[in-house]
Amino acid sequence: MTWVDDAFLLAHGVEPWTDLPLWIPASLGIPGMLNVDVRKALVAGLHVRPLLETVRDTLAWALTRPRNYPLRAGLSAEREAALLQQAA
């Protein structure tokens, strides 16, 4: 695991949300984008699956896809490797 900050990613042309899904740098000024109070939904009966179950099912689904399946979002393995090399 290699930690890099928002400034590094932005300086290297990494696009929020598309290159790194769910990454929204603080500089975009939308801190509440993924911070929502769900208490009303829980009281109304929303059932939240355990994280382990969600991860397991997502991995099972991902393993059904061809290895060369083009991603619509996220960094390519080559781009990620280049960024990690620059971060070292």
| Structure confidence at residue 48 (pLDDT) | 93
Which tokens is 7 given?
């400034």
Distance CA 36, CA 42 (A): 12
Q: How confident is the model at residue 49 (pLDDT cuts 50, 70, 90)?
A: very high
Which helix (H) or strand (E) covers residue 83, if one does? helix 77-87
Instruction: Specify if 66 maps to a domain.
Output: yes
Distance CA 67, CA 75 (A): 15
* Average pLDDT estimate for 23-27: 90
What are residue 20's DSSP bridge partners?
16
Identify the domain containing residue 37 by its residue range.
6-87
pTM, to two decimals: 0.66
Instruction: Specify if 1 maps to a domain.
Output: no
Instruction: Specify if 16 maps to a domain.
Output: yes
* Structural domains of the chain, count: 1
| Structure confidence at residue 7 (pLDDT) | 95
Q: How confident is the model at residue 22 (pLDDT cuts 50, 70, 90)?
A: confident
> Which residue type occupies 83?
L
Distance CA 83, CA 12 (A): 8
Instruction: Specify if 82 maps to a domain.
Output: yes
